[in-house]
A and B are shown apart, each in its own frame.
Chain A
Amino acid sequence: MQGEGFFFQAFVYLSAAVISVPVAKRFGLGSVLGYLIAGFAIGPFGFQLIGKEGQDVIHFAEFGVVMMLFLIGLELQPSLLWRLRGPILGMGGLQVGLTTAAITSVAMIFGLPLQSALAVGMTLSLSSTAIVLQTLSEKNLMKTDAGQSAFSVLLFQDMAVIPMLAIMPILAMKAVGAAKKTEEAHGGSTTWVEGFPGWGQALMVVGVIVFIIIGGLFLIRPFFRYVAKTRLRELFTAAALLLVIGISLLMSKVGLSPALGTFLAGVVLANSEYRHELEVNIEPFKGLLLGLFFIAVGASIDFGFIKAKPGLIGMLVGCLIALKLIVLLIVGKIFKIKHDQNILFAFSLAQGGEFAFVLFSFAVQNHVISNTVANPLIGAVALSMALTPLTLIVNEKFIQPRFGTHEKEEREADSIDEENAVIIAGFGNFGSIVGRLLRANGIGITVLEHDSDRVELLRKLGLKVFYGDASRQGLLHAAGAVKARILILAFNDHEKTVNIVHMVKKHYPHLTIFTRSYGRTEVFDLLDEGVHHVYRDTFDTSLKVGIDVLTTLGFRAYQAHRVAKTFRHHDEDATHVLRHVRHDKNKFISISRQRIEDLEQLMLTELLDPDEHIDTGWDDTYVIKEFGGKNKDKEI
């Protein structure tokens, strides 16, 4: 069968992940370490289920990193990115500069010529975006000072890769022409910018970036609206993937990092109504590919080499981590990160990055360094990456408790997310009134709406509305269900409401649910589901009509209001009584009838018999009875 090989590989990767990740999580090691262990287990030095193709898998799975940056971009409002420009350029620049200088010096001490040493220094100054961000967000540390700083530095590093790739050939000690030839022979994807003069390349790069920003602002949203109109979920997923893949291709064609391009697109779309839906659609792919990436890294660690020269590798890993740690601590100190946050920041970034694999092989192609230098370093980088989750655990368990509590942390309010206390699903006539009332009173609401035309309209009206189907747990999650307090289900689909209630009760039991429903039967269903706040669509409106008709017929307005209130309470009582007997048809009907009769009796006596008023307080009929008829002159 064709493709059997592929299925076998997929089977191996997936089972390794499914077996090792839960185990790693159980022992508190985090998923990244789980994947790495899985990779080691199936790799050439484990059960040998996969061979050297691990390297190819890495290249493919790097796409997971691209998707991760797209998702990170979606979370980052452009305004926030602008505010982070200081940390990104300052901290990132300082970290890359200082680390490059430090490692270059050490490399020269070990006898490398300046050019090679510089190549090694630059390459090793990078950290692993994938491992750091995945680990930090898994530990819920992304929003801390350390997380934000680490993110800023990583973002700078991603940008720094581009000039590094450009400098590499210049460092080559052989003729540039020869280097170029090998590069072409290597068969790397050709880019559009090749053969253009420098200014032409630069122009093209700027053009593509501008295109992504303008496209994100003006083309992508109508495109998604068009796709969303089909109401085919898989088509939206396809469109989301198309977007990410398209941008990656475009970026590669002009020689830029795809991760950077998709990150940019993410930022541009961070304010769009499709943000949450995009997150939900890309998230699983990102997760799988990133997992695959970690497995591949685990599998590609050359344990044969390490075994052969344990001392050398051990020293390299130790030096790498120590040097980076020291530089990071200094950078953190300069930028006044608080003590314990600084330690976390330094530990999280003290490893080599996945770009090192690319850069080292590029450097070897360009004859900047030799294989004998590159191979042990690649091994050291891979090991340092694998050690990161472990060092973070060491930091958490042993270092923080001892040194981390010097300063009390004053956490500022999270500015990144607009996580609101109230989520409204469905923003038609019903939900919008609820939402507007809340907004008018300063309550932040997150709105989910499944009708793309309406989303567009509401956005134009200046409301923050997100496109998406609330029955998907992922979307609710992205909308902030974990931190929200109230969920309002305001759409007109009973089945869907019940399903969501089910799901929410299971995953977000802390949410108080408010639902609308059409009639009494639906109310019964929802009460049975444990929803306490159920509102019949038409109940208040019909009562209002009743009041107005009574008034028009000559009733006193206040009297009409009072009787409507009486009616309301009576009816709500009846709902609770009838709910418990509704499966017994005869009983249900007899009690219903009795209830209706009771109510009508109550109201009619109010009208006909002055002795039986509902609101006796305003009437002195009773008082007359007790205290005074005409013949009773004596008063007490």
Chain B
Amino acid sequence: MKSFKNNILVLFAHPALQNSRVNSQLINYVKDLKGVTFHDLYETYPDFYIDVKYEQNLLLKNDIIVFHHPLFWFSVPAILREWMDLVLQHMWAYGKTGMALQGKKLFNVITTGGRESMFQHDGYYGHTMIEFLTPIMQSAHVCGMEFLPPFVVHGTRNITQPEIKRYGDDYQKLILSLRDGRVDLEAARSHQRINSDLESIIKTI
């Protein structure tokens, strides 16, 4: 049945995609790939009435979970947080009998207006992106999932069209490599963002 090494679920959350420049393009690089389920949360649940059973089944069918979203207040958009609150149930995702997500992998795909220089200990925000993602990381650990460094697109406020295309290509390449099991996870974990040096973590077989 399973034709790929890893099935990938992209949980996409953007409340105003109609006004988006970067994300509206980025998603096109991954949403129709084989072995990838692209799931647009704001489009599916405009009333926030999340179908927990359906979401859990989606998770079960996939090996790698991607939270794709713009960074809002150094965190995820509201619906993704609601998704976590509802879908990651006790005794299912965590707790004594909550083993459903054991061994799966989770990482964020984040767009942010702030440049990378701001996400430094001596930068404007005083913390790195991965530090801001501590709640997500810890949640992943509680659920027995492996947390990978995020794919980050910095400085979206004045990003150029060629840059967007390059990020798109990288995003696609990363997803395809993960799908086919060609990513050196050990190497990936050593980076602050997974896309800082993509070539070095992708194995060529």
Contacts and interface: CB of A to CB of B under 8 A. Distances in A.
Interface in A577-636: 610, 613, 615, 618-621, 623-624, 627-630, 635-636
Contact of A555 (B14, B15, B18): B18
A618 B44 CA distance: 18
Given A629-B158, A635-B124, A619 B19 contact: yes
B18 A635 contact: no
Contact of A618 (B15, B117, B124, B156): B15
Contacts of A464: none
16 contacts: A556-B16, A557-B42, A557-B44, A558-B46, A561-B47, A610-B19, A613-B19, A618-B14, A618-B72, A618-B77, A620-B113, A620-B156, A620-B157, A621-B19, A623-B157, A635-B114
B107 to A, nearest CB: 23
A560 interface: yes
A560 B43 CA distance: 10
A628 B44 CA distance: 33
A322 B124 CA distance: 96
B202 interface: no
A560 B46 CA distance: 8
Interface residues of B, number: 23
Contacts of A615: 15-16
B118 interface: yes
A48 interface: no
A559 B19 CA distance: 10
A618 B157 contact: no
Contacts of B42: 556-558
B18 A556 contact: yes
Nearest to A560: B46
Interface of B: 14-19, 42-44, 46-47, 70, 72, 77, 113-115, 117-118, 124, 156-158
B16 A628 contact: no
B124 A624 contact: no
Contacts of A557: 42-44, 46
A611 to B, nearest CB: 11
Given A556-B17, A613-B19, A620-B113, A636 B124 contact: yes
Closest 3 CB pairs of A and B: A557-B46, A558-B42, A618-B16
A131 B114 CA distance: 87
Given A619-B16, A624-B157, A558 B43 contact: yes
B191 to A, nearest CB: 24
A610 B16 CA distance: 12
B118 to A, nearest CB: 6
Contacts of A618: 14-16, 19, 70, 72, 77
Contact of A635 (B16, B17, B44, B115): B115
Nearest to B156: A620
Contacts of A621: 19
A628 B118 CA distance: 13
A624 B115 CA distance: 13
B159 to A, nearest CB: 10
A635 B158 contact: no
Which label, helix, strand, loop or mixed, suits the secondary structure of the A interface?
Answer: loop
A628 B157 CA distance: 7
A624 B17 contact: no
Nearest to B159: A630
A273 B124 CA distance: 73
A629 B43 CA distance: 31
A629 B159 CA distance: 10
A321 B47 CA distance: 72
B100 to A, nearest CB: 28
A613 B16 CA distance: 10
Contacts of A610: 19
A490 B198 CA distance: 64
A627 B46 contact: no
A558 B157 contact: no
Contacts of B46: 556-558, 560-561
B203 to A, nearest CB: 37
Nearest to A561: B46
A558 B124 CA distance: 33
Contacts of A635: 114-115, 117-118, 124
B113 A628 contact: yes
Given A560-B46, A623-B113, A630 B158 contact: yes
A629 B17 CA distance: 21
Nearest to A555: B18
A460 B118 CA distance: 69
Contacts of B44: 557
Contacts of A558: 15-16, 42-43, 46
A26 B15 CA distance: 68
B19 A624 contact: no
A524 to B, nearest CB: 30
Interface string A363-375: 0000000000000
Contacts of B157: 620, 623-624, 627-628
Contacts of A559: 16, 18
Interface in A540-560: 555-560
Contacts of B18: 555-556, 559
B78 to A, nearest CB: 10
Contacts of B113: 620, 623-624, 627-628
B73 to A, nearest CB: 10
Contacts of A620: 113, 156-157
Contacts of B17: 556
Interface in A144-172: none
Interface in A492-548: none
A620 B16 CA distance: 11
A421 to B, nearest CB: 27
B11 to A, nearest CB: 15
A624 B158 contact: yes
Nearest to A624: B157
B124 A628 contact: no
Contacts of B117: 635
A486 to B, nearest CB: 26
A621 B156 CA distance: 11
Interface in A394-413: none
A623 B156 CA distance: 11
A610 B19 CA distance: 8
Given A556-B46, A615-B15, 12 more contacts: A557-B44, A558-B15, A561-B47, A613-B16, A618-B15, A618-B16, A618-B19, A620-B113, A623-B157, A628-B157, A629-B158, A636-B124
A615 to B, nearest CB: 6
A624 B16 CA distance: 17
Contacts of B124: 635-636
A559 B115 CA distance: 28
A613 B20 CA distance: 13
A636 B115 CA distance: 12
A108 B134 CA distance: 99
A623 B44 CA distance: 28
Contacts of A636: 124
A630 B42 CA distance: 31
Nearest to B115: A635
A627 B124 CA distance: 12
Nearest to A607: B18
Contacts of B16: 556, 558-559, 613, 615, 618-619
A606 to B, nearest CB: 9
B160 to A, nearest CB: 9
A620 B14 CA distance: 13
A200 to B, nearest CB: 69
